[in-house]
Structure 1
Amino acid sequence: MNEVPRFSENFRGLQIEFKLLGGFAVRSPTGEAPILPTAKTRLLAAYLALSAGQYQARSKLCALFWEDRGAEQARASLRNALAAIRAVLGDHILIANREAVMLDPNFVCTDVDELKSLMGRTSATAEAETARRLAAELLEGLTVSGEELTEWLEFERTRCRNLSEALLSKTAEQLAEHGDEAAAVALAQQLVALDPFREKSHRLLMRLYARQGERSLAAAQFQTCRQLLADELGTAPSPQTVALAHELSLDATPTREARRLEVAPSPIQQKAARGADTDFRISIAVLPFLRPVEDADQSFLAEGLAEDLINELSRHKDFLVIARQSTFAFGAGPRLAEHAAQALDVRYVLTGNLRRRGDDLSLGVQLIDTATHRTVWAERYARKLEELFAVQDEIVGLIITAVDAEVRSSERERALRKLPETMDAWEFFHRGLWHVYNFSMDQIEAAEHYFRRATELNPRFALGHAGLAQAAVVRVVWQMSDDIPATLESGLVHARHAVALDGAHPYPHVMLGRLLTCRGELGLAHDHLRIATELNPSYAHAHYAVAQVHIWSGQPAEALPHIDRAIRFSPRDPLLSMFMTVRSVCLFLMGDMTGAEAAARAAIGRQARESWSRLGLAAALVESGRTDEARAAVAEAKALMPNLSIANLDNLIGRMASAPRQRIIEALQRAGLQSCRKKSFNLISQRIALQHSVID
């Protein structure tokens, strides 16, 4: 019998690297690569590595990996597999007791962790080879048996695939910015191969080809994209893709079939638009959560969670939620999503699976866009059964917050794909939202155009008027107007009209509250923002606005919980850097300079060219006695905003309570910010676009 290869004794106790993308391998710090003896043992090691530091119940592992065996035989198989892992990788790597096991996170690292880390560092540039390596499929070549194990692997592969596509896209764009077009082209080609229906990938490749002078290749890529969409999805390229073709002077004349598709929306497009045509709401159905047949006693949990989600989603004015009496008739689980969506005439389906192993409960949730056959969001939650009822509201809240954010992002992207002549008021509004979150003068003007079109199509559409109010907020706060008072008054007119049309929707109240804050009417602003948070307790922008009112009122301690809720409720928000900057100001005013510095640096890390966060950093540093560092932070802010001065800053915080306003100004004066007198603070639109670019 051949001896199992194992690490030499010299390297016991050192960190072991798990290569899980593109197959399975383990390596020591010196490159030794022993092989675990069986496919099941390798899969178990991968499962434990992906959850290193988290105990996994032995009963759960037995049911997951050896579901076809009796309890005693399964436990014996688990013991043998764990013994093999110890023998090959070392005793130190496993932490175990009679009930559960885990891999020690101090001695384990994975390439999946590397992938997550790179995506979390927005300012970092990955090497092309690193991005290419991390785009491989999770545990490629490993096959599994058993429904639950197959489900787990598919779920994790989808999550890794989404991360790797985002990393490839980001790295290709960064390489192109640094002049390495050849490497960028190679990554863009890989990106197109991974997801041929992602138009942004095709556009990136078209731009890169044109940049290299290969116009024929750019034109061929456009034709490939157009033909693929027509053949497979029955749709035409988005206006963005067609506009790029014209910009690059490519032949964008559609074929006869493509011309027909551009004029007449496909059945999928027609069906997906019907709900919005009638009542301007996002249509969604919540199916019961799938549970194993043998866990009949858990049906009340599976149905109860789904019913709670239905009730909570129904509180959101933008969602048309199908009642449980209709959705529960279709049964449970993701496999029924498209059938249920067709029968119920909805676009989105929320569903998942619920599994119990002893005292452990696992909940997997998926949000499916049935019009594009894509899972747009997926997450997994694990709790002890005894904790379920205590944390059920928390889990439902987390799911609702994530679904709300993902659906709204999806709707904005969907609106961008439509030709203006085929758009309704709802879609004009969401297209306007996409532009307003780009924070540049030309984008704000485009947003105002689409918001006006929404109100022209339906004068009683409250969200269109609220959108015009939001555009006014951007112009006032970032001083993108030659007549700030007139812009403020115009925004207030639209905001008040939106509230009058639909006072049960939180968005108009938030816009009215923010404009009232700008005018210094803090009591009335707080009243409207309180209504917004009552209408939708998980609305991040409402809590962000409440935090601002408290800061302007000289109440930083009251502001802090609200800004923390905003960050928790929308961790990928287009305004996240501003959320973190407001948090920095709160902590600064409360005397916590360490926390203020950390929050400001987090904001800078989120948006590398963000300037307001650098002022927050400078204030915290100067109060900590680090004047040279504070002056450097102010210099960086002025490099991004050449007109920055105390006078211009006071245009924004002039209506703040006297004590916090004076403290901020004095700190920044000590940090070197000069008191140049300006009437208004006109930010350069290109810099604003760089500072507040929307997270893709």
Structure 2
Amino acid sequence: MSRLFFVYNPSSMAKTLRLNVLGPFHAQWSDGTALDVTGKKIQGLLGYLAVESARPHSREQIAALLWSETGDERARHNLRQALSKIRRSNGALISSNGETLALDLELCTVDARDFEGLARSNEVADLERCMALYQGDLLDGLVLREALYDEWLVGAQHHFRRTACDVIERLAAGLAEVDRLEDAVDVLNRRVAMDSACESAHRGLMEIFERVGRRSDALRQYQFLTDALSREFGTAPSPETTVVYERIRTGGGGSAQRVSSPPEEAAVDSEHDLPAVAVLPFDNLSGPEDNYFVDGTVEDIITALSHFSSLMVISRGSTFAYRGREVSDRQVATELRAQFLVRGSVRRAGDRVRLNVQLLDAHAGSTLWAHRFDRELEDVFVVQDELSSTIVSTLAGRVEAAQLAKARRAPRGRLDAYDYLLRGKEHHNRETRGDTEAAIDMFEHAIEADPGYAQAHAWLACGLGMAMRFRPLEYDELLDQAEAAANRGLTLDESDSECLRILAQIALLRQNPRLPIRHQERGLFLNPNDDRSVCAMGEILSFAGRSEEAEGWIRKAMRLNPYHPPRYWSHLARALFHQGRYRDALEALQNFTAPRVRELAFQVAAASMLGDADEIGKYVAGLRKMAPDFDVERFVDTLPYGDDDDRATLRDALLALV
């Protein structure tokens, strides 16, 4: 199906432009001529304005986004030149009031806008049109190597890909319901082409083939899935898929009419009770013209929280029913069956916005966490995204902390799987030998209480990984056990991002060059607001010779979670060190109150590169005190570098002094 749709003004029949950004950048006028545009930065500018076309953007923001390394004055100059070039060749595609820029939607239509609108429908015809527009990743092939732009593009690509996957799941189910089974097969095959290890799509194809009597095709599809899971993740299909396979293999019949649900609904039911959170409508303290901003922020928080498998999030439809009602927190919580409530208020004044947020334990009548966010309002939607992402990551941690406090007071015999998990995580985060053994014990009790609890298996893997630090003679055995536990968790719940994060770390330790990034990308696709997964991507890239990208991911994790653990500073310091920013690396490491050998070694290496004799003496003395028998070669060889040049740089810096 063609991607080109044109809109004509019947009064003037003036030509209009179609901008296609879902896939490679493509722009064509309604008379069939291509847009005269050269240069990746101009494509990047038009692509950004096309995707973010709901509002104007300040010139300063656009300049910083596309030319962040040139300085403010030079960036503004480059933006003026780009705008002038577009205007000379193509007319007033971009409208401006002097301070802000926006795509002229009277003159342009954008495939991404149409895609988003159609994706909200549940009509099969609309969903088919929606997927006809999705021709690949957003701005596929466009590489600018600008940190801010690249961060925006990665996030936007994930958003559109997640939306496309959701549309495919709903479209396949809708087509199957009206007996358009061959079309459903085509749609699910497209999902498999996007991700060869998407188990729900393979399972859906198996069920359709079973339904139409294509038994051999169903069994072959299972083999395709088995090969993909083994190749990509070193794991096997889930029990749910295996049940379908055995039914088809043995000719057992049964419920062959169902097409698999989306991944988030396919997880094995669990006996543990997750904490329920209800985000209530925030109070708008400004005026009705800001309702869109207030409600949009709340909706973003609800959507992002729902990606955390450790929480049950009450839907927007339920919580917004309480707008304007005088109801006590306890009554709201009782009616919604939620333990935790999120309340807030928003006030805008000039070019600033203030957002107050509270996390309440409604049954205890206490405030668990409160924070005030003050931001400049240069771009209202960028501010909205930043606030919602930070709030979501922080809320998830605060809810867990409150549940942990409750778990500490409960007799051990009454603890359920979730409480065992929380106690285990508390021990795990202390990072001592005794606490590590206690953590493993708690995780094993969680599994005993609920064998189908995927996150308990994931955290058992994490605990076994920590034990490797204290039991080096059992390193290989513990690593194998950790990998088996994480794979078991992923088998139980293929959409558990925690399992994927841990499998990425295991693959990193095994110094596999591609698998860590593959696992982590999949985990971030499932939960883009988990600061641990975001930071883990930075850690992986810092060892892969991609230190500039690594810095961006790690700083994003720090923004997501202001209460982040100290190790984030260690990963940031390594990324800065390998960019040659040795003073910045030392400043990052100053945030450690109790540095480990790894942090002390990087302090020595950074001081060595700077050549300051006083600093060198101080840091070498600190390292020798902590590790009298420190061996440079052994230390460097234990780090999972995939980039030989970075490994050599660290080794040479340390050998010069130690």
Q: Residues 548-567 of structure 1: CA distance to partner in whole angstroms, max 9, x if unpaired?
A: 22232222223221222222
Match of 1:467 in 2: 459
Matches within 5 A, 1:59-74: none
Residue from 371, 385, 389 that aligns with 1:379: 371
| 2:606 equivalent to 1:617 | no
Distance (Å, rounded) in 2 between the aligned partners of 1:335 and 1:659 = 63
| 2:256 equivalent to 1:283 | no
Contact 2:428 2:463 in 1 (8 A): yes
Contact 1:473 1:511 in 2 (8 A): no
Match of 2:588 in 1: 599
Distance (Å, rounded) in 2 between the aligned partners of 1:622 and 1:633 = 10
Matches within 5 A, 1:87-486: 278-291=271-284, 295=287, 298-331=290-323, 336-356=328-348, 361-382=353-374, 387-476=379-468, 478-486=469-477
Distance (Å, rounded) in 2 between the aligned partners of 1:334 and 1:632 = 62
- Structure 2 unaligned residues grouped into runs of 5+: 1-268
Task: Give, in angstroms, the shift of residue 546 of structure 1.
Answer: 1.8
Task: Give, in angstroms, the shift of residue 641 of structure 1.
Answer: 3.4
Contact 2:574 2:602 in 1 (8 A): yes
| 2:487 equivalent to 1:496 | yes
| 2:581 equivalent to 1:588 | no
Distance (Å, rounded) in 1 between the aligned partners of 2:575 and 2:556 = 14
Contact 2:277 2:312 in 1 (8 A): yes
| 2:658 equivalent to 1:667 | no
Q: Relative to structure 1, is the Cα distance of residues 609 and 580 closer, same or farther in structure 2, using a 3 angstrom cutoff?
A: closer
Distance (Å, rounded) in 1 between the aligned partners of 2:644 and 2:359 = 48
**Aligned to 1:363, what secondary structure does the other structure show?**
strand
Letter in 1 for 2:615: E
Distance (Å, rounded) in 2 between the aligned partners of 1:337 and 1:671 = 62
Match of 1:565 in 2: 556
**Aligned to 2:538, what secondary structure does the other structure show?**
helix
Q: Residues 588-613 of structure 1: CA distance to partner in whole angstroms, max 9, x if unpaired?
A: 222112212222223x3xx2344422
Contact 1:594 1:620 in 2 (8 A): yes
Residue from 644, 648, 651 that aligns with 1:658: 644
Task: Give, in angstroms, the shift of residue 573 of structure 1.
Answer: 2.2
Distance (Å, rounded) in 1 between the aligned partners of 2:301 and 2:596 = 37
Contact 2:503 2:519 in 1 (8 A): yes
Distance (Å, rounded) in 2 between the aligned partners of 1:662 and 1:616 = 14
**Aligned to 1:483, what secondary structure does the other structure show?**
helix
Match of 2:505 in 1: 514
| 2:645 equivalent to 1:644 | no
Task: Give, in angstroms, the shift of residue 654 of structure 1.
Answer: 5.8
Q: Relative to structure 1, is the Cα distance of residues 571 and 480 closer, same or farther in structure 2, using a 3 angstrom cutoff?
A: farther
Task: Give, in angstroms, the shift of residue 627 of structure 1.
Answer: 4.3
Distance (Å, rounded) in 2 between the aligned partners of 1:371 and 1:640 = 48
Distance (Å, rounded) in 1 between the aligned partners of 2:462 and 2:496 = 15
Distance (Å, rounded) in 1 between the aligned partners of 2:470 and 2:288 = 61
Match of 2:241 in 1: none
Contact 1:466 1:498 in 2 (8 A): yes
Contact 2:609 2:653 in 1 (8 A): yes
Distance (Å, rounded) in 2 between the aligned partners of 1:388 and 1:470 = 39
Distance (Å, rounded) in 1 between the aligned partners of 2:443 and 2:324 = 39
Matches within 5 A, 1:30-41: none
Q: Residues 327-382 of structure 1: CA distance to partner in whole angstroms, max 9, x if unpaired?
A: 22233599732221122121110111233556754321111122332212212234
**Aligned to 1:514, what secondary structure does the other structure show?**
helix
Contact 2:417 2:450 in 1 (8 A): yes
Q: Relative to structure 1, is the Cα distance of residues 589 and 299 closer, same or farther in structure 2, using a 3 angstrom cutoff?
A: closer
Distance (Å, rounded) in 1 between the aligned partners of 2:479 and 2:375 = 49
Contact 2:440 2:464 in 1 (8 A): no
Residue from 517, 532, 539 that aligns with 2:530: 539
Q: Relative to structure 1, is the Cα distance of residues 553 and 363 closer, same or farther in structure 2, using a 3 angstrom cutoff?
A: closer
Q: Relative to structure 1, is the Cα distance of residues 277 and 334 closer, same or farther in structure 2, using a 3 angstrom cutoff?
A: farther
Q: Residues 190-216 of structure 1: CA distance to partner in whole angstroms, max 9, x if unpaired?
A: xxxxxxxxxxxxxxxxxxxxxxxxxxx
Contact 2:304 2:529 in 1 (8 A): no
Q: Residues 497-546 of structure 1: CA distance to partner in whole angstroms, max 9, x if unpaired?
A: 11111121211111111011101113111111111112222222212222
Q: Relative to structure 1, is the Cα distance of residues 562 and 357 closer, same or farther in structure 2, using a 3 angstrom cutoff?
A: closer
Match of 1:251 in 2: none
Q: Residues 399-434 of structure 1: CA distance to partner in whole angstroms, max 9, x if unpaired?
A: 212212222233333322221111111111111000
Q: Residues 248-284 of structure 1: CA distance to partner in whole angstroms, max 9, x if unpaired?
A: xxxxxxxxxxxxxxxxxxxxxxxxxxxx985542200
Matches within 5 A, 1:71-90: none
Distance (Å, rounded) in 2 between the aligned partners of 1:596 and 1:521 = 27
Q: Residues 210-231 of structure 1: CA distance to partner in whole angstroms, max 9, x if unpaired?
A: xxxxxxxxxxxxxxxxxxxxxx
Letter in 2 for 1:377: W
Q: Residues 629-687 of structure 1: CA distance to partner in whole angstroms, max 9, x if unpaired?
A: 32431321232334432244145216543222222122112222xxxxxxxxxxxxxxx
- Structure 1 unaligned residues grouped into runs of 5+: 1-275, 673-696
Contact 1:622 1:670 in 2 (8 A): yes
Distance (Å, rounded) in 2 between the aligned partners of 1:636 and 1:623 = 17
Match of 1:244 in 2: none
Distance (Å, rounded) in 2 between the aligned partners of 1:631 and 1:648 = 22
Contact 1:361 1:383 in 2 (8 A): yes
**Aligned to 2:514, what secondary structure does the other structure show?**
helix
Q: Relative to structure 1, is the Cα distance of residues 544 and 382 closer, same or farther in structure 2, using a 3 angstrom cutoff?
A: closer
Contact 2:293 2:384 in 1 (8 A): no
Contact 2:437 2:467 in 1 (8 A): no
**Aligned to 2:471, what secondary structure does the other structure show?**
coil
| 2:542 equivalent to 1:556 | no
The root-mean-square deviation of aligned C-alpha atoms, in Å, is 2.6
**Which segment drifts farther, 662-671 or 517-526?**
662-671
Q: Relative to structure 1, is the Cα distance of residues 451 and 538 closer, same or farther in structure 2, using a 3 angstrom cutoff?
A: same
Distance (Å, rounded) in 1 between the aligned partners of 2:325 and 2:581 = 48
Distance (Å, rounded) in 2 between the aligned partners of 1:368 and 1:333 = 18
Distance (Å, rounded) in 2 between the aligned partners of 1:451 and 1:560 = 32
Task: Give, in angstroms, the shift of residue 387 of structure 1.
Answer: 4.1
Letter in 2 for 1:363: L
Contact 1:341 1:349 in 2 (8 A): yes
Matches within 5 A, 1:8-47: none
**Aligned to 1:316, what secondary structure does the other structure show?**
coil
Q: TM-score scaled by structure 1?
A: 0.53
**Aligned to 1:520, what secondary structure does the other structure show?**
coil
